[in-house]
Amino acid sequence: MTGPEPVLVLWGPVASGERRAAHTTLLRAAAELTGSPLHRIGFAHDPGGRPRLTGDAARLHVSVSHSPGARAVALARTPVGVDIETVRPLPALAMARRWLAPADADWVGRLPAVDRVPAFYWLWTQKEAVGKARGHGLARGGLTQPLPHPAHWPPPPAADTPPALRALPGTTGAACTVLPTGTRAHVLAVAGLGAPGTPVDLRRCDA
């Protein structure tokens, strides 16, 4: 008996043109997964703005994200969402109190000031990824989606090999994880509506 098929996530830095680089990365990954030539795969958006593939890759679920200097894409057989954020200075505690659930803001506030910005992005990317997997982004309570807060910051590296989606509180039907990028400059999260424990095939692409 085999387990769930992995979610494929590709990410990497890019000097400029992040949106175009993300779309190119997505199409190339879809061609590899399907064994189809690029000219038989297209890119479009649903009426609500959700990205989708056409042609030979129409059955794949996809998600696209880009931030200054980086892009990420995810492909799966079930609904998927990905978010990458470039870490930049921001008023993390004030934004957590303004936008996130009270439990999130309390957790951010208990951290040392130097840790609050990366912790805010740790929360935000997961909420964004879950909202994308569900198809409505951060609307419909996406910003207050409950997340388990790590007992220690920064969280220890996951023991999963490869990384895997982890169930969220409240039996939400979604699973999520923050993925290792090997750099403090970017925070990357992926979510899916598939089973918790679904492995993530994480690949870095620098071209």
Core vs surface per residue 128-163: b (16+ CB within 10 A) or e: bbbbbbbbebbeeebbebebebeeebeeeeeeeeeb
pLDDT, one tens digit per residue, over 58-86 is: 999 999 999 999 999 999 999 999 999 99
Q: Is residue 2, in this structure, part of any structural domain at all?
A: no
Cα separation, 7 vs 200, in Å, equals: 5
The total number of structural domains that make up the chain: 1
Q: Is residue 1, in this structure, part of any structural domain at all?
A: no
Q: Are 73 and 52 in contact (CB under 8 A)?
A: no
Q: Is residue 14, in this structure, part of any structural domain at all?
A: yes
Lowest mean pLDDT among 14-18, 27-31, 48-52, 75-79: 48-52
Mean per-residue pLDDT for 95-105? 95
Encoding tokens for residue 95?
A: 């934004």
Q: Is residue 131, in this structure, part of any structural domain at all?
A: yes
* CATH code where residue 102 lies: 3.90.470.20
* Domain that residue 76 falls in: 7-204
- The 8-class DSSP code of residue 1 comes to -
Give the 3-state secondary structure of residue 25: helix
Q: Is residue 36, in this structure, part of any structural domain at all?
A: yes
Q: Cβ neighbours of residue 177 under 8 Å, at least 6 residues apart?
A: 126, 158, 160, 163, 164, 165, 166, 189, 190, 191, 200
pLDDT, one tens digit per residue, over 103-153 is: 999 999 999 999 999 999 999 999 999 999 998 877 666 788 889 999 999
Query: Which pLDDT score is estimated for 57?
Result: 97
Q: How confident is the model at residue 159 (pLDDT cuts 50, 70, 90)?
A: low
Cα separation, 188 vs 207, in Å, equals: 18
Kindly tell me the sign of the dihedral angle through the C-alpha atoms of 195, 196, 201, 207.
Answer: positive
